[in-house]
Amino acid sequence: MIEKYKDTLSINEMNTLLKIDSTNILFFDMDGTLVDTNHANFLSYTKAIKEVTNVEYYSSLNIHKRFTRKTIKKIFPDINQIDFEKIIEHKNKLYKNYLFKTKLNSLFLEILQKYSKTNTTVLVTHSHKDRAVMILKYHRIFDKFTHKFYKQNEDNRRVNKFEYALKYLDVPATSVIVFENEDIEINQALTANIPINILQN
């Protein structure tokens, strides 16, 4: 069962919906869930593309849709590996200039702030550590997490971040409440035997 997040929910209604108590462990995804990073991501990628290829790229898609490494391959299917890696490198360096374009999810922030005082709160993200730390510190929520799990490998393979965190923390899946926005990751949570306590925004 996946509960859908509604803009009209208050934190008290959310608490009633999820039945959060002191035994629950709260798993928070970052990108798209706790923090909207799509605009900053888009701007840093397009600026990097211009610097490396001298191509002014403006997407016809909504700038709030996720711009990824796969997007670069779609835009430039014949791009060589050197330029591809340069774009990634430039994007990472430029990202700090667009932190002001990132935006916290106010409801999930309120939940994090409230329950970080009484519960174990865990960041589970596929973001690289340097980038994630930069975003969390910018929004002054770095210290709100008991544990943090970042991207586990340097290639494009995705591990099940929920299984990894559960195994590392040695906690039962039934004690976990997940805050996640991506369907593919929600399925990963279900695979990790977190069948009910999943909240999607």
The reported pLDDT for the residue numbered 55 is 78
* Dihedral angle computed from the Cα positions of residues 138, 139, 140 and 144, in that order, rounded to the nearest 10 degrees: -130
Q: Tell me the two tokens of residue 52.
A: 């490396």
The phi and psi torsions of 80 (rounded to 5 degrees) equal: -80, 160
Asked if the model's pLDDT at residue 198 lies above 90, the reply is no
CB 167 within 8 A of CB 122: no
The reported pLDDT for the residue numbered 2 is 38
At 200, is the pLDDT very low, low, confident or very high (cuts 50, 70, 90)?
Answer: low
Q: Which residue has the tokens 């796969």?
A: 70
Average pLDDT value for residue range 5-25: 71
Query: Using one digit for the tens of pLDDT, what is the confidence trace for 136-183?
Result: 999 999 999 999 999 976 556 678 999 999 999 999 999 999 999 888
The reported pLDDT for the residue numbered 201 is 58
Q: Tell me the two tokens of residue 35.
A: 């923090």
What is 93-107 written as a DSSP string?
Answer: HHGGGGGGG-EE-HH
Query: Using one digit for the tens of pLDDT, what is the confidence trace for 63-85?
Result: 777 888 888 888 889 999 999 99
Average pLDDT value for residue range 124-128: 95
The angle, 0 to 180 degrees and rounded to 10, between the axes of the packed helices 106-115 and 11-18 is 70
Query: Using one digit for the tens of pLDDT, what is the confidence trace for 33-50?
Result: 999 999 999 999 999 999
DSSP 31: B
Which range (56-60, 65-69, 119-123, 141-145) has the least confidence? 56-60
